[in-house]
Amino acid sequence: MSGHIEILPLLRTEPADGGLGVASIESWPAAGGGLLVGMAEPGFAGAAPLRRTVKTIFMRICTGGKVTLLLPYVSLETEARRCIAALVAAELAMPEEWIAVGSLESGRHRIIDIGTAAERSLQACAAVTRALLAAAAAELWGVRVLRCQITAGLIVGPEAGQIVQLGEVAADAALMEVQESVWLLSGRSLPRHAVRGIGTDRAHRRAYNPASEGAET
C-alpha cells in the first residue's frame, strides 16, 4: 500500500466544518438494491440544516454496476461537475466518464469552485465506498481485504478466477461495517479526516432512499 494516504478518524477543526465536529459517513442498502454511502459535508449543504444526520453527499453503486454521485441540495456549474467526477473516479480507480453526477437543475445554491474541505469529503466518501466493496469481495473469497484490488469497475482477488464486477458485491457491501480508517488512491497529501459509521448492526440495516431527504434518484 505504499504511496497511499491513510485517512484516520479525527475531530475536524476547520471553521468550514459548520459545527458538525465530525464528518459523518454512513452506509445503507440502497432502495432497489445495491450500496448507498452518505456523508454530511457543509460545503454541499445548500439550504439543508448542518447536522450529521442530514447527508449532503450520496454515492450509489447499483447491482448493475452503475456509479452515481448525488448532491441533492446544490446545483453545479459544468467545470465543477467535471472536477467532482474526476475526484471520485480517482478513488474508485475507474474513468471519470463512468461517474454519473446528479444535482439540482438550478437554484441559488450553485457551486462554481469546489473548496478544499469539500474535495477531501468527496474523496473520503468515494474511498469508504471502495473499501466497503473490497471488504465484501474479500469476505466472499475468504481472503484479506488488502489482497483485493479495484480497477476499471472490477474487483480482483489474489487467486486465479477471483474477479467480480462492483455491482455483484454492492448489496453485500451495504451490510459491511464502515471501517475506522481508509486509504486514498489519489496520492494527494491530505490532512487526516474523520470517518464514522453509524448503525452498522447488520441485522438492523434498512434500505435508504435519498428521496426521503429531498434528493432525486
Q: Give the side-chain half-sphere CA count within 13 A for 128.
A: 35
Q: Is residue 19 over pLDDT 60?
A: no
Look at residue 209 in the predicted model and tell me its pLDDT. Answer: 52
Look at residue 142 in the predicted model and tell me its pLDDT. Answer: 97
Q: Is residue 190 over pLDDT 60?
A: no
What Cα–Cα distance (Å) separates residue 57 from each residue in 77, 103, 192?
17, 10, 19
When pLDDT is averaged across residues 16-23 and rounded to a whole number, the result is 40
Quote the cell numbers at residue 108. 441559488
When pLDDT is averaged across residues 203-210 and rounded to a whole number, the result is 45
Q: Whose CA is closest to 70, among 210, 213, 202, 212?
A: 210
Distance separating alpha carbons of residues 171 and 201, to the nearest angstrom: 15
- pTM (2 d.p.): 0.78
Q: Is residue 207 over pLDDT 60?
A: no
130 neighbors 152 (Cβ within 8 angstroms): no
Q: What is the mean pLDDT of the chain?
A: 78
Quote the cell numbers at residue 56. 449532503
51 Cβ contact list (under 8 Å, min separation 6): 20, 40
Look at residue 63 in the predicted model and tell me its pLDDT. Answer: 95
